[in-house]
Chains A and B, each alone.
Chain A
């Protein structure tokens, strides 16, 4: 191994040893990304389902205000786990005006107020509820279901009474066959399409944000703690220093992103087992290009962040620059999600950040377009070299040896 490579390796190894000895950083950069998607996609839906079941089991208090008994109309709210109290309809012009009943909903003594009034052959109704109360919303939903069912029965009855066939009258245009089988895209392709809408975003944002802390610690942090001067006096060039630190940050970021993807794949696997989503169909070539795109993006992002952090005199200064810089990734990332990939112009694949995100989207959908690949590969390479050159310039500055402390 040449002396240069040896020194780069020594620097990277030392940075990694320092990194793994700080458990808070380990939690922030490695544990959280690993658990983020399983928590979001598995635990969160489980929590939602448990809350929904709890709500479903609740008996809700409902008041029905009508001119005559609802049983005469064939309406039965009691079937929907609701304690129903009947009251005469007050004299009001618009049924939807809460009036004095507002207080009962606000203090929680009732969850819903149903008002019914006959107007010729039509039955008018209004549901008075409180949208900020889960129970009130649930009561409204149950009441609407009962009312819809009644309306459907009543419609069929009236059509029949008029001597018409309800089926033909209500459904004159019909689908023939299985809806799912009419889509030529396979389930794997559909899964790729769905994942392409957020995996590039996650990869880009996480690559950038997880590199911030180690980049700052290894540059502005070292500068602030006064450890840089002794390091600069060693027989290592500034480029070797940059390479060693880049390697360490890229390793940490790479592991963080890999763990996050692993967590995501685990969550997808779990969802796939419950037929929620299929596994995406990606060819080996597309997978290889996908890794290459992320790697080039990481080279650019880490070099850029190291450069900005090295320019800063302190950790605080570096944080206040790199924190908002996440927006430089986030905005193009969000923008890229809405770009239509069908017939997309090639120049999009040359725009920084956008190029890699579009490449990831295409590759996740297993689309390999030669011109697009050449464009994003060449432009990404150019940007990565540019960022590395800029970082090298910052590392060669003489004032990096001075610190605020």
Chain B
């Protein structure tokens, strides 16, 4: 096994009184194509944001294999967030160039890499177009090109095929596989176990903020003794899933009182009426 590339060391993350992640430890090696699988609110996005340095751990640490904290080594990471995060008044190439410049990469180098991958994704003719009219698939491909332009050591993809048509989803999956074959490292968050099975050589099942299993698909079957991955997943996550938490903040005081005026009450049940 190659040397660790990215280390998550007993990381916990809380938002006020909500514990989004609890003592998560992972070691990512070069060439790993990791599928981060879990239900809504499991903690996948929180973990990805910790890996990209957007969030700081409440306890524990996220660092590169050489010990550098991720907050000071963000150039090693390429991120494709769930909603792609493209600027609609900029062209696809301007979006890519903006991030490349922020990474300290010169335009020629970024352009070479962008051309290389855009041919693969069928995006060469769209690089000069404003992203405003882009389909979901084109946005996703542009975000992928943007994340790859500075040659990151680890690529983080948050639900990269969600909402894509069959062809676009397939193209994205094939690119991820190709990156893996070339020795790249990808962490790929998804709801779809079947997708993770097709693309990834390692699957991490995350549930209620905890890592429930981590291994190759075969190792997961061996751990659970189940005949297929779906059954294995159900066995590992049989407790009730919590709702997505970190984005919602309960209303308090006057705001709660005021909102109550405009919130309809649920109709009474039939039994109650009678």
A residues at B contact (CB < 8 Å): 3, 6-7, 10-11, 14, 17-18, 21-22, 225-236, 398-399, 401-402, 405
B101 in contact with A10 (CB, 8 Å): yes
* B143 partner, pick from A3, A225, A230, A405, beta carbons under 8 A: A230
Distance (Å) between the CB of A8 and the closest chain B CB? 10
Q: Which of B54, B83, B94, B104 has the most CB of A within 10 A?
A: B54
Q: Please judge, given known A-B contacts A6-B104, A18-B89, whether A233 and B79 are in contact too, CB under 8 Å.
A: yes
Q: B214 at interface (Cβ–Cβ under 8 A)?
A: no
**B67-83 vs A, Cβ < 8 Å mask (1 yes, 0 no):** 00000001101011111
- B49 CB-CB contact with A under 8 Å: yes
Contact across chains for B85 and A229 when beta carbons are under 8 A apart:
yes
Q: A227-B86, A398-B56, A401-B54 are in contact. Are A236 and B81 (CB under 8 A)?
A: no
Is A233 a contact partner of B77 (Cβ separation < 8 A)? yes
Give Cα distance in the complex from A314 to B5, angstroms. 37
Does B222 touch A at the CB level, under 8 Å? Answer: no
From A11, A21, A233, B54 is in contact (CB under 8 Å) with A233
Q: List 16 A-B contacts (CB under 8 A).
A: A6-B101, A10-B101, A18-B89, A226-B82, A226-B84, A228-B85, A230-B79, A230-B146, A233-B79, A234-B74, A234-B99, A234-B102, A236-B102, A398-B56, A399-B249, A401-B49
CB nearest to B146 among chain A residues? A230
List 13 other contacts, CB 8 Å, given A229-B81, A233-B74. Answer: A6-B101, A7-B102, A14-B90, A230-B80, A230-B143, A233-B52, A233-B77, A233-B79, A235-B102, A398-B15, A402-B246, A402-B247, A405-B83
Q: How far is the CA of A168 from the CA of B83 in the complex (A)?
A: 90
- Known A-B contacts A6-B104, A230-B81; the reply to A17 vs B94 at CB < 8 A is yes
Q: Are A235 and B94 in contact (CB under 8 A)?
A: no
User: Quick check: A227 and B85 within 8 Å, CB to CB?
Assistant: yes
Question: Do residues A226 and B102 form an inter-chain contact, with CB atoms below 8 A?
Answer: no
Determine whether B87 belongs to the interface, using a CB cutoff of 8 Å to chain A.
yes
Main secondary structure of the interface of B (DSSP, over half): loop
Which residues of B does A touch, CB under 8 Å?
Answer: 15, 49, 52-56, 74-75, 77, 79-90, 94, 98-99, 101-104, 143, 146, 156, 246-247, 249
Q: Using Cβ atoms and an 8 Å threshold, which residues of chain B touch A22? A: 89
Cβ–Cβ < 8 Å partners of B89 in chain A:
17-18, 21-22
Beta-carbon nearest neighbor of B73 in chain A: A235
The residue of chain A having its C-beta at the shortest distance from the C-beta of B248 within the complex is A402
Task: List the B side residues contacting A235 at CB < 8 Å.
Answer: 74-75, 102-104
- In the complex, what residues of B have CB within 8 A of residue A405's CB? 83
A230 to chain B, nearest CB (A): 4
Find chain A residues with CB under 8 A from B84 CB: 226, 230
Chain B: minimal CB distance from A399 (Å): 8
B56 to chain A, nearest CB (A): 7
Residues in B whose Cβ lies below 8 Å from that of A3: 104
Residue of A nearest to B156 (CB): A233
**Chain B min CB distance to A240 (Å):** 9
Taking a contact as CB atoms under 8 Å apart, the answer to whether B83 and A233 are in contact is: no
Q: How far is the CA of A235 from the CA of B246 in the complex (A)?
A: 24
Whether A17 contacts B90 in the complex (CB less than 8 A), given A230-B85, A398-B55, comes out as: yes
> Given the complex of chains A and B, what is the CA–CA distance between A7 and B104 in angstroms?
8
Closest CB-CB distance, A164 to chain B, in whole Å? 78
| In the bound complex, CA of A366 to CA of B52 (Å) | 55
Contacts of B94 in A (CB 8 A): 14, 17
Shortest CB-to-CB span from A247 to chain B, Å, is 15
Query: Which residues of B are found within 8 Å of A401, using beta-carbon distances?
Result: 49, 54-55
Looking at the assembled complex, report how far the CB atom of A404 sits from the nearest CB atom of chain B, in whole angstroms.
9
Asked if residues A230 and B99 are in contact (CB atoms below 8 Å), the reply is yes
Contacting residues, chain A, for B77 (C-beta < 8 A)? 233
CA distance A10 to B15 in the complex (A): 32
Give the chain A neighbours of B98 by CB distance below 8 A: 10, 14
Asked if B53 and A233 make an inter-chain contact with CB atoms under 8 angstroms apart, the answer reads: yes
Alpha-carbon distance between A228 and B79 when the two chains are bound, in angstroms: 12
Contact assessment for B85 and A231 in the assembled complex, using a CB-CB cutoff below 8 Å = yes
